Amino acid sequence: MISRLWLLWLIAMPPLAAQSLQQEDILRLARIKSAIKKHLEGMPNFTCLQTVERYQRFPNAKTESLIDVLRLEVAYVTGREMYAWPGSTQFEDTELREIVTTGAFSTGAFALHARAIFLGDGTTFRFGGEEDFDGKPVLRFDYDTAQFRSGYQIRNPRKGIGAVVAYHGSIWAQRDNYELLRISVEADDIPDEIEIVKATDRLEYQFVRIGSRDALLPRDSEVQITDNRGRMSINKTRLSRCKQYSGESTLSFEDVGEAGEAASKLTRVLTFEPYTELELALDVELNHEGFAVGDAIQALLRNDIKEGKTVIAPKGSIARGRILRLEHQVGDYSTYNITLQFDELLGADWRAPLKLRLTRTDPPTGTPPDMRTPGRIVRSVTLPDTQPNGFLVFSKKLKLSRGFTTIWQTQ
């Protein structure tokens, strides 16, 4: 699946806005820029829970299909965006692609869009007129940014290539107080080798209380990316649970739960021998509707782990992990591409860090329904690629029951 990144917007150019604006419109635009600059320069360091619903629409399809849901903790710190899985202890100062390895995504929504358009000198504006926006009188300005002044990059990670492109769009601001309501962005002149023919974004702005001040944030946004085969990827993003951030804070939007309470009583750290087998049974039903990529999961150990004849980790111990992939794909079959990761095993007073390799599942998965009879070849099909520790489930509706077991070996 094609993906896309916004990178930092850095380069400036001499202002050209006055060439196509009347005096009254120049004054209005200046007031809008002043209002936005005030908010951007006073932006506190903060974190939000970011939920992204990722859809795909095939050519000639009437509606889009939900591929997966992604949940991340996102931080805006001193002008940078950083990311972490929910419940992590720190943000990663790395590209989002290193955390989210599949699917389409974008970055830059917190403030980089607005900074590039309003605080840089590389954007030209035209007055688009007065409009009605949800019953409010608003001003619309259209804008353009040339490629040689742009910081907007589109990438195709499958081919390992990307390009900085020009872009254009519109902004909408309230007529009475000049507060920003919406920004639209559309890429221009995307190189053919990127294999993307259209990329757009729409951001809806609202005030969010963070600490003792109000911050102007894009609470909702929608990215649409169309490739050269006519397939459209659609990401619908919303922000919630925003709070002020300090580097000393522990990052968590999740309840502590039994595993968290157990972790607080740890007195020993165990190490397992390589190739030790762990049978881990899910403690809840895993389905496509109620879970997202990034969600924490737990499983119960089904077998005793021994050192010689001594049980060092009894069955019933709690394994903590996370969903790394939960992708619904429709091709020859309706398929769910799943990747789980378990990072630690917990007992009453001990923990064992885990580095595991998936060996099999119980019950087995990975074979299409009409190919499960031995010796019977119905047709030749192409199965989706899985990640390390990933497996396929062939079903129109995903339902891994409580007790579904994955079998792993320590590494």
CA-to-CA separations, 3 to 173, 232, 270, in angstroms, rounded = 30, 11, 40
d(CA 163, CA 380): 37
In a domain, 10, yes or no: no
Total number of domains in the chain? 2
User: Across 7-16, 331-340, 374-383, which has the greatest mean pLDDT?
Assistant: 331-340
Q: Is the pLDDT of residue 129 over 90?
A: yes
Same domain membership, residue 335 and residue 223: no
Same domain membership, residue 194 and residue 265: no
Q: Is the pLDDT of residue 96 over 90?
A: no
**Per-residue model confidence as pLDDT tens digits over 271-280:** 999 999 999 9
Question: pLDDT tier at 261 (50, 70, 90 boundaries)?
Answer: low
Give pLDDT, residue 121.
75
Same domain membership, residue 381 and residue 293: yes
d(CA 218, CA 334): 34
**Rounded average pLDDT over 158-165:** 85
Same domain membership, residue 261 and residue 236: no
The two structure tokens encoding residue 273:
């021998």
Neighbouring CB atoms inside 10 A of 312's CB total 17
Q: Which residue has the higher pLDDT, 260 or 307?
A: 307
**Rounded average pLDDT over 155-180:** 89
Residue with tokens 């202890």: 89
For residue 22, the number of C-alpha atoms closer than 13 Å in the C-beta half-sphere is 5
CATH number at 98 reads: 2.50.20
Give pLDDT, residue 55.
95
Using alpha carbons, select from 36, 247, 279, 224 the residue that is nearest to residue 143. Answer: 36
Q: Which residue has the higher pLDDT, 106 or 405?
A: 405
Same domain membership, residue 235 and residue 262: no
**Rounded average pLDDT over 211-226:** 89
SS3 32: helix
Give pLDDT, residue 15.
39
Say if residue 27 is exposed, middle or buried (CB neighbours under 10 Å; 0-12, 13-18, 19+).
exposed
In a domain, 1, yes or no: no
Same domain membership, residue 280 and residue 236: no
Q: Are 284 and 401 in contact (CB under 8 A)?
A: no
d(CA 97, CA 90): 17
DSSP state of 38: H
What are the residues whose beta carbons fall under 8 Å from the beta carbon of 145, sequence distance 6 or more? 116, 117, 122, 123, 124, 152, 166, 167, 168
Residue with tokens 């111990």: 317
Residue 30: what are its φ and ψ, rounded to 5°? -60, -40
**Last residue within a domain, chosen from 211, 244, 277:** 244
**Rounded average pLDDT over 77-103:** 75
The two structure tokens encoding residue 197:
């023919």
User: Across 6-20, 37-51, 306-320, which has the greatest mean pLDDT?
Assistant: 306-320
Domain range enclosing 341: 257-410
Same domain membership, residue 85 and residue 176: yes
Using alpha carbons, select from 261, 214, 201 the residue that is nearest to residue 242. Answer: 214
CATH number at 320 reads: 2.40.128
d(CA 122, CA 145): 6
CA-to-CA separations, 380 to 288, 330, 334, 369, 387, in angstroms, rounded = 27, 16, 16, 14, 22
Same domain membership, residue 181 and residue 297: no
Give pLDDT, residue 325.
94
Q: Which residue has the higher pLDDT, 312 or 2?
A: 312
Give pLDDT, residue 43.
82
Same domain membership, residue 352 and residue 272: yes
Residue with tokens 């100062």: 93
**Per-residue model confidence as pLDDT tens digits over 6-30:** 333 332 333 334 345 788 999 999 9
Residue 394: what are its φ and ψ, rounded to 5°? -95, 110
In a domain, 6, yes or no: no
Neighbouring CB atoms inside 10 A of 147's CB total 14
In a domain, 383, yes or no: yes
For residue 89, the number of C-alpha atoms closer than 13 Å in the C-beta half-sphere is 1
Same domain membership, residue 31 and residue 160: yes
What are the residues whose beta carbons fall under 8 Å from the beta carbon of 401, sequence distance 6 or more? 282, 285
Question: What residue type is assigned to position 225 of the chain?
Answer: I
Give pLDDT, residue 384.
80
Using alpha carbons, select from 312, 402, 306, 303 the residue that is nearest to residue 348. Answer: 312
In a domain, 251, yes or no: no
Using alpha carbons, select from 227, 313, 215 the residue that is nearest to residue 262. Answer: 313
**Last residue within a domain, chosen from 217, 244, 271:** 244
Give pLDDT, residue 95.
66
Same domain membership, residue 388 and residue 288: yes
In a domain, 252, yes or no: no
Q: Are 91 and 82 in contact (CB under 8 A)?
A: yes
Same domain membership, residue 222 and residue 281: no
Give pLDDT, residue 297.
96
Q: Is the pLDDT of residue 87 over 90?
A: no
**Last residue within a domain, chosen from 204, 221, 244:** 244
Lowest-confidence range among 123-127, 270-274, 348-352, 378-382?
Answer: 378-382
Q: Are 99 and 92 in contact (CB under 8 A)?
A: yes
| Phi-psi category of residue 228: left, alpha or beta, with phi > 0 → left and psi -120 to 50 → alpha | alpha
In a domain, 126, yes or no: yes
In a domain, 298, yes or no: yes
